[in-house]
Structure 1
Amino acid sequence: MATSDRRSATLALAHALSAAERGLPVIPLSATKLPALRSPHRDDALPTPCHGECGRPGHGVHDATTDPAAVRALFAAAPWATGYGIACGRPPHHLIGIDLDVTPADAAMGTPADATAELRHLALQHLFTLPPTVTVLTPSGGRHLWLTGPPDVVVPNSAGRLAPGIDIRGAGGYLVGPGSVTARGAYRLAQGSANLDPAPCPRALLRLIAPPTPPRRPHHDPTGPRHGRGLVHFVLTAHEGQRNTRLFWAACRAYENGLGDSLTDALTTAAVHTGLTEREARATILSAARLSGTRCPAT
């Protein structure tokens, strides 16, 4: 390993341990920003629905931990790691990442999409103010805003759904931590961020990025067949911009109530009816199954 790589690996571990000490679960990342450890099930004949229950590292964000000894063990198993990821949606912070990019919105037209401006527009439109919070500058010129969410709200990951150039990192996702070095450069804290804690997500913004709560109905058996029909109807009535979040919410509720496997096909059909592709729908349901800690549905 080259001296510069060894130094980056040492610094990555130091930064990861510091983050873990603040209650942020971490995993080692390679220079590509992907989890540094490969899945121990990659050579299995059949897909294995394992989130780390096997006791071996290599399960991506499911390996994330705040235990210093476990962090050191993960980095020892991946000495090539030059960065670290911070798992979102996990206690105690229930971190939400607002990823703001500056990228071409339309390469043919050459029109730049400034995600920061898009977020300001949303704040004016929906009457919320972004509080001072931890801000990480990315090598590409973008920034990550760290916010915290309530423990009873599951915020899904999304890319460009909120507005062009704005990605959301929620449950099952991770943020590249400051101090990480990637193939494109280093991630660093913005000036004035070092002494800040992640601020609570404004309620109006939370309503935009979290799945909506369907209205309660009286005399409703949450585990009976009507509940399954209600979840399918909830997905069917989604408008553009709500389709993925509604499907994710419905699939989570289905798995929590033991209906996940039996509703997979119906939820997929409903999502395709609203405009998602079958592949997108089944990937979202798979994410919900993993988050709910159950066996994943067949894909």
Structure 2
Amino acid sequence: MATTDRHAHTLALAHALSAAERGLPVIPLSRTKLPALRSPHRSSPYREDPRPVLCRGECGRPGHGVHDATTNPALIRALFRAAPWATGYGIACGRPPHHLIGIDLDTTAGPDATESTAALQHLALRHLFTVPETVTVLTPSGGRHLWLTGPPDVVVPNSAGRLAPGIDIRGTGGYLVGPGSLATHGIYRLAPGTSHLAPAPCPGALLRLLTPPPHSHSHHPAGRPPDGHGLVQFVLAAHEGQRNTRLFWAACRAYENGLGEILADSLTEAAVRTGLSEHEARATIASAARLTAAP
């Protein structure tokens, strides 16, 4: 292991143990921000049954992603020993005692870098809540993660762009990259002035936005899904700095309404007209398809 990675591994373990002391369950992450340990049930030519194994750690072996998250120092050290290439750590959301909720404000370089922050403030004004002072983590790409806590009896689902373009939610079954982690593009750091804070309770009005009622198709006129014209126009209206975000949001909505395959080419064409390459556009749409297909 290179000296830099060895140093990053040691720091990540130290940060992870510190987070665990505060009641935050953690797992080791690779530079790609994905869980560092591969599933022990991954496909093998020696397995007779090709169906995926639905295991969340019941087998007792590591490699189950966020389901491995723990606050036990001995288990954390064992996970990091099993993944010496880990340079970061993830913090499981929705788990006691904090029931963490992550508000991921995806900001990119350019004139629209503050779009997601402005969108959150607009939601706050519209729904009459205040975004509280809370733990804030700065991402290498210029984004921000706001840490909030939720009530133990409320399950907040993960979502991408559901509230607004550029705002992703990390809830039950998701995780946040912890401060001090080294990823491919840099280090995650606590924002100045927030290191002394504890995660603030999620405002009630915001919590209601994060826990939408079960999806229903009955709200479409005469039972018909939307034709997708508005989603295409939404992508066409994108400016530099928001093109990928808008495309991803529109593609998620299209797949949620059963229009993903129908609109894929139109959304790609719209994105190309705004300046994205066809390869970038199709990769973004494919990401939306994978996300919305997840259970």
**Fold similarity call, TM over 0.5:** yes
Q: Tell me which residue corresponds to 1:157.
A: 158
Q: Tell me which residue corresponds to 1:295.
A: none
Q: CA offsets, 1:49-84, max 9 Å, x none? A: 000111110000010001111100000000000000
Change (3 A) 1:127 1:22: same
2:106 to 91, 94, 101: 101
Q: CA deviation at 1:276?
A: 3.5
Q: Tell me which residue corresponds to 1:121.
A: 122
Q: Tell me which residue corresponds to 2:7.
A: 7
**1:125-136 equivalence runs, <5 A:** 125-136=126-137
Q: CA deviation at 1:275?
A: 1.4
Change (3 A) 1:277 1:18: farther
CA distance in 2, matches of 1:10, 1:62: 22
CA distance in 1, matches of 2:177, 2:208: 25
Q: CA deviation at 1:235?
A: 2.2
- Relative to its length, the structure with more strand (as a share) is 1
Q: CA deviation at 1:236?
A: 2.8
Aligned AA (1:21): E
Q: CA offsets, 1:139-167, max 9 Å, x none? A: 01110000001111111111111011100
Alpha-carbon contact 2:108-2:142 (below 8 Å) kept: no
Q: TM-score by structure 1 length?
A: 0.72
Q: Tell me which residue corresponds to 2:87.
A: 82
Alpha-carbon contact 1:24-1:93 (below 8 Å) kept: yes
Look up the SS of the partner of 1:4 in the other structure: helix
CA distance in 1, matches of 2:150, 2:82: 32
Look up the SS of the partner of 1:163 in the other structure: coil
1:92 aligns with 2:91: no
Alpha-carbon contact 1:155-1:211 (below 8 Å) kept: no
Q: Which runs of 5+ in 1 are unaligned?
A: 213-230, 244-270, 288-299
CA distance in 2, matches of 1:37, 1:98: 25
CA distance in 2, matches of 1:55, 1:277: 40
CA distance in 1, matches of 2:217, 2:5: 51
Q: CA offsets, 1:28-63, max 9 Å, x none? A: 000000000001111243210000111110000010
Q: Tell me which residue corresponds to 1:167.
A: 168
Change (3 A) 1:274 1:140: closer
Q: Tell me which residue corresponds to 2:38.
A: 38
1:203 aligns with 2:204: yes
Q: CA deviation at 1:2?
A: 1.2
Q: Which runs of 5+ in 2 are unaligned?
A: 226-252, 262-287
CA distance in 2, matches of 1:275, 1:236: 8
Q: CA offsets, 1:121-156, max 9 Å, x none? A: 111111100111000000011100000011111111
Change (3 A) 1:96 1:30: same
**1:1-299 equivalence runs, <5 A:** 1-42=1-42, 43=44, 44=47, 45-103=50-108, 114-212=115-213, 235-237=216-218, 275-276=257-258, 287=295
Q: May I ask how many residue pairs the two structures share in their alignment?
A: 234
Q: CA deviation at 1:103?
A: 3.2
Alpha-carbon contact 2:255-2:292 (below 8 Å) kept: no
Change (3 A) 1:38 1:204: same
Alpha-carbon contact 1:13-1:75 (below 8 Å) kept: yes
Look up the SS of the partner of 2:118 in the other structure: helix
* Paired-residue identity, %: 72
Change (3 A) 1:274 1:160: closer
Change (3 A) 1:157 1:277: farther
Aligned AA (1:199): A
Change (3 A) 1:272 1:33: closer
